[in-house]
Structure formats: structure tokens, C-alpha cells
Amino acid sequence: MNRVRLLVFNAALGALDYRVPNEMAIEPGSIVVAPLGPRQIVGIVWEPERLPAGEVPDSKLRPLIEVLPAPPLPAPLRRLIEWAADYYVAPISAVARMALGSNAALRGGGTATEYRLTGEEPSRLTPRRAAAIAALRGEQATIRELAAIASVSEGVLRGMVGAGLLEPVTVDIDRPYPRARTDFAVPALSDAQQAAADTFVEAVEKHGFTPFLLDGVTGSGKTECYFEAVAAALDQGRQVLVLLPEIALTENFLRRFEQRFGVPPVLWHSSLKSSERRRAWRAIVSGPENGGAQVVVGARSALFLPYRQLGLIVVDEAHETSFKQDDGVRYNARDVAVIRARFEGIPVILASATPALEAMYLADTGIYRRIALPDRFGGARLPDISVIDLRAEQPERGRWLAPRIVAGMRERLAKGEQSLLFLNRRGYAPLTLCRHCGYRFQCPNCTAWLVEHRLSRRLACHHCGHEVPVPDACPECGAPDCLVACGPGVERIADEVADLMPEARVAVVTSDTLNTPDRVADFVAAAEEKLIDVIVGTQLVTKGYHFPELTLVGVVDADLGLEGGDLRAAERTYQQIAQVAGRAGRGEKPGEVLIQTRHPEAAVITALAAGDRDAFYAAETEARRDAGAPPFGRWAAIIVSSENEAEARDAARAIGGTRPHLPDVAILGPAPAPMALLRGRYRYRLLINARRSAEVQRIISEWLGRFAFPQGVRVSVDIDPYSFV
């Protein structure tokens, strides 16, 4: 091979051809360094017939500089990258970039220098050094990473190194991870669990593609079942990928994994330190036979890593919308996991107590193999569910909790049991206004109100992160002490609980309060040790946690998720409430769920109250069929944005004006997006609704390929959208 084609990480350049020096060994998938003008770039050797490029004569080809000491990307991963780029109408370079994960890891080997506290306590400390010491206890990382953790400048930390408060530590980049033991703590499974586990183990041993839907009620022991499949893959010397939707869920999962296999798995998510990412990537590409990673637990980005010997993929909480990426390459990790398993020729398990309707449909049609666990493990009963009609059972004036929920919490407090209140709204109040002039605090960068957070005394936008202190007076009319909080968030509910039951120990659980693995671990430990009486939380508490003393769940506003024009709103609402209801009564004590609503007649509420999931899914399936919505039709969105409103509007109109007119495709818009301004960019949307037979990706590519937009205009495509903002 004296001429190769490189996939480079710049969509504007396309593929580039290079000459291979005689002494250099190259194969498809090799990661190489090549010249580009005066610079050096990283590229991946690709099959020329699968990646078009401009014709350049051999005499003009520049030679490659070096092959990096990393294993070539295997063929199944290269096919997955091609498929994802084609299906999601994304640049192949953007998809391939996710496979490399850590540029620092490509060269591998060697050591790195990290720093940690020495433990010395000087007699005098500046306030910044004192704050840094308090924040860095138990931490070890680079100076840059420690500075981010402690919220101080790197200069402060370098001064602490000179003062002997921080010491350097030399770390082996490629040190091996401890080996998992499949016989460490083999669980005693129920008959139903054992049958499910045996089915998974058989599929792993056969080495063939089989997509499973593990459909088990909350508390049925789904994790223990697929752990047996994990053990079977490890016994074969193969790797396992477990995808979780939220980083906050990893701490609980890590503990359960370590209890079963004796060691924690390898982690992969965006919050890892650079040294941890480098080590994890090297271990993943090395494979188990070389002392590398055996089991990787990660967020959706872990799906594209170059595993050396992948034998099983598990997608836990597979219904979660967090698996859908909403920027960059807009892929759904649940669906891509199935495709990767197909290319790899291995089983994939989608586990959920409330599967996505699309997954249920594929199971009903025989494409997925459904494994059901209809009962809780160990004889525990599903909780009793009751509906509180807020039109008839109104909370006290100025309160948000109905008397029945308050009475239930007081009863549990007297018994030494725990309660959980669920409201999927962070902060204290969703809107703050002036009672004198009616001024409303709005984000300057987004079409959104600023949310009051009393714990941090800030008004914050949950879309772009813009924050301002809560003012003492109205910025519009100048009146003092005039600001009114409208509506409840979890902080306001927690205040109400503290006011009603001052003796109760209350914990607020949101992405604001549990934003690190350590904080998650502290919360779980406190809840298990019964140091918390009432948990008030958002969707973060709806899944993954097992607190045996938690016997009451109160849903504060069951109608919240039904607002807006999201066609999946009913399904999402059902999933969230069913999941949070599943936190109640997971031990020996029976559980109770109270759902506050102003629309008790809504189909989703009646299905929850009756415990009739199948009826809800059947009705929702027919509604989707009538609307031509997934899984019976196809959705796609085109989002046009610019910092200049006229520029965005003109580009959207130009796209809309040249829409293709096809019998099996309906195109709506363009129209201003519901979130018309987001992070300082004006946004317009077009929605495509097509029959399953339509070649949506080809249609969109040919349609948009005619345009050359101004530099400030971004046009993105969202296939199978989950967000309609």
C-alpha cells in the first residue's frame, strides 16, 4: 500500500490522499500523523472505495509522517461510523472524532505528574489557599484540573506547591486496572431471574447478534440478570459496555458492580480528569488479554470507543431521553447501540421498567426478543397508587402540597420511614416578577424566564447558564422589596416541608446539588443510614436508587410534563411517574404513591392509577399510528440559527422555499422555534413527517446540498428528534 486515503477531523477538507513511506506499515483503521500545509494533523486510514476524495496524481502526494502507537480502529467500528454519519446526516469526521476520545492517549505510555495535598497545616493562610485546601481534600489531579475543582487560579496552586502545601506525584499512564472476578459474589436468583439470566448467557456464548428488551418492573432485579451475561462475557475474555443515561447514576451502579465482581468497572464520561480519560482509552483499546479494560460503564459517548474484543452491550434505563444527543452529532445512543451490536455480531440488552414505545413495538413485531420480569424480587409488592384531584383536595392557601400528602409524610416520619416528593423543576420558583410594575426576569440570551435559586441566591437560566444575583429592588421601576416568586420548584417544596415538619431532615436532590460523584455517594449513604426523612427531587431521583425504608412517594405536579407540543409528552410523563413510583416499597414494607393532578381524567393518569401499562401503551400506539409518528412514520427536524435574526429568518425561508414536494413526505415550516432565542442565537425550525418508506436522509442531503449559507448561519439536522424546542 503506497497510497492511502485519510479521514481527517475537518468536515470542510473532506478526505485526503497521502503517500506511504516504504518503511511504514499501514492498514485500514491505522491512526497516523500527516502534513497539511505547515501543520501536522491526525487522521484515520480509510478504505478508498468507501470514502470519496478529489483525484490527486501520485507525484503530488505528500508522505505520512508517522503511525501513532495505538491499535487500528477495527472494521466493525469503521462501519458503525459510516452508518451513523449517513443515518444522522452528520459529517463522518465528527462521528469519527468520538472514537478517539483522548488525543493525549494516542501516543500512550510514559508517566504524568499530578498533585495532592501534603497534609501540612501552616499557621497562616490566605482566604484563597484556605478555600483551596478545603476543596481539594482527597483529590489528586493536574494543576489545571485542581484549579477547576477548587475554583481558584492556577497561580494560587503553584504558590501552594512552592509553600509545600501541594506535592507532585508521578503516575503511570498505562497502569492496569484490577481484574474482575466472575465468582466473587454469585447471587441467588429467583426462578424468573435465573431463566432470564440463562437466556442472556446462552446468547453471549453463541457470539451472535441478538437484541433483547429486558422488560422488568421496578425492583425486579434486572441488573442482577444482566450481570450474569456480563460474567459470561468476561469468562470468554471479552469486553462489556454498559451505558447509563446519567453520570449521577454511576455511583450507585459502581457499588453494585463492585459487590458482584470485587472491583469497580472502568468509567467513561465527560467529567473524567484528562489523566483518567487517557488511561481508560488505552485500556479499552488494549483489550482484556493485555491487562486492559474488561467492563466499561459510561455515558453515551462511550459507545463509539474502539473496543478490542467487545462481547456484550447493555443499555440500562433504555427509555431515557438523556441517551439522545441534542447538539453536534444528534444521535440516539440506544439505537446506535443496537446497530453497533449488529456490526460486532454480539448481543445487546435494553433494560427498562418503562420501555420506549418504539422498543415495545419492535419487541411485539419480533425484531427484539422480549424478556419479562413482571414481579419484584424477594416477594416485595408494587406500591399502591392513588390520585389526588387538586380541584377537590386543594392545598392550604399559600401551600403546594395537598393535605393527604402532608398527612402521609407525617405518618412516615412518626414510623421512622422515609418519603420522597417528586417535582421535575429545579430551583425555588420558575418565574420572578415585580408586584408593582409586572416586570419579569428574562434571560438576555434565551427565550426563557430566569429561575430563582434561593440556595445560591441567584437567578439562573437553565438553558445557557446565565446567572445574576437576586436584586434588592426591581430593575424596571426601582421599587424595593417587591419581587414575587411565582410557582414552585423543588427548593420551595423543601421549604414547605421544613415549615410543616420542622423536625424532619430534608434533602434536595437535583443536578445542582448532586453535581459530582462524591456528592451522589454522600446522599446515598445518608439516605441508607436513615439520616434523611424526606427527599425532594427532580427526575434525578426517579431511577436507580434502592432505599428500603422509603415507603411514600408524592408526585407534586403530575401535569407538568404534559405541557407544550411534544408528541411524546404522555409517554415521557408515564415513564417518569412510573419510575419515581417504583422507588416506594422496595423493601419489606409496603409502599404508597400519591399523584397530585388537575386532570385526573387524562389517559396517562388513569393508566398510572390503574396500574395498566399495557392499556396505556396500546392507546398511545394507536395515536402514533393515526399521526404517522414513530415507529409508524419518520420524523426529522431542520434547525436554522444565527446571531443575526434576519439572517436566520432569510436562510430558513430560502430552505422552505425550495422544499421537495413528495407524496410520502410532509414538510412543515419554517417557523420560529418555541425557544426562538437560545444561547444568543435566533432559531427557526422545519419539521418533516414522512412514511417509513421515504428515504428521508437522502432527501434532506440533496435538499440542503444546494445551499451555501453565510458564515454566521448554522443548519443542523435532527433525525428522530426528541426535543422540539
Q: Which amino acid is at 390?
A: L
Residue with cell 481539594: 136
Cβ burial of 59 (10 Å; 0-12, 13-18, 19+) is exposed
DSSP per residue over 327-345, as a string? SSS--BHHHHHHHHHHHHT
Distance CA 269, CA 241 (A): 13
C-alpha grid cell, residue 587: 423493601
Q: Which amino acid is at 169?
A: V
Distance CA 44, CA 127 (A): 49
Residue with cell 497562616: 124
| Average pLDDT per 10 consecutive residues for the chain, totaling 725 residues | 88 90 93 94 95 87 94 96 97 94 77 87 82 87 86 89 90 84 94 96 95 93 96 96 83 88 91 84 87 92 95 96 91 97 98 94 96 85 91 92 96 95 93 93 94 91 92 92 92 96 95 80 88 93 82 92 75 90 85 94 90 90 91 95 96 96 94 94 96 94 93 95 86
C-alpha grid cell, residue 519: 456528592
The CA-atom distances, in angstroms, between 304 and each of 79, 91, 357, 429, 465 are 11, 15, 25, 39, 28
Distance CA 672, CA 652 (A): 9
The CA-atom distances, in angstroms, between 350 and each of 69, 341, 371, 453 are 35, 12, 10, 36
Contacts of 472 (CB under 8 A, 6+ apart): 480, 481
Distance CA 218, CA 544 (A): 9
Buried-state track 109-144, b at ≥16 Cβ within 10 A, e below 16 = eeeeebbbbeeeeeeeeeebbeebbeebeebbbbbe
Q: Quickly list H helices, 501-630.
A: 517-528, 569-581, 603-610, 613-627
pLDDT in the model for residue 110: 73
Please tell me what DSSP assigns to residue 395: P
The CA-atom distances, in angstroms, between 25 and each of 7, 29, 69, 308, 655 are 18, 12, 12, 20, 47
Is residue 480 helix, strand or coil? strand
Dmax (CA) of the chain = 85
pLDDT in the model for residue 1: 57
Q: Phi/psi class of residue 132: alpha, beta or left (left: φ > 0; alpha: ψ in -120 to 50)?
A: alpha
Cβ burial of 347 (10 Å; 0-12, 13-18, 19+) is buried
Q: Which amino acid is at 152?
A: V
**Packing angle of the helix pair 603-610, 613-627 (nearest 10 deg):** 160
Handedness of CA 351, 353, 357, 362 (dihedral sign): positive
Q: Using omega within 30 degrees of 0 as the cis cutoff, is the peptide bond preceding 670 cis? A: yes
Distance CA 135, CA 345 (A): 46
Phi, then psi, of 702 in degrees rounded to 5: -70, -35
**Packing angle of the helix pair 222-235, 191-206 (nearest 10 deg):** 30
Distance CA 388, CA 556 (A): 10
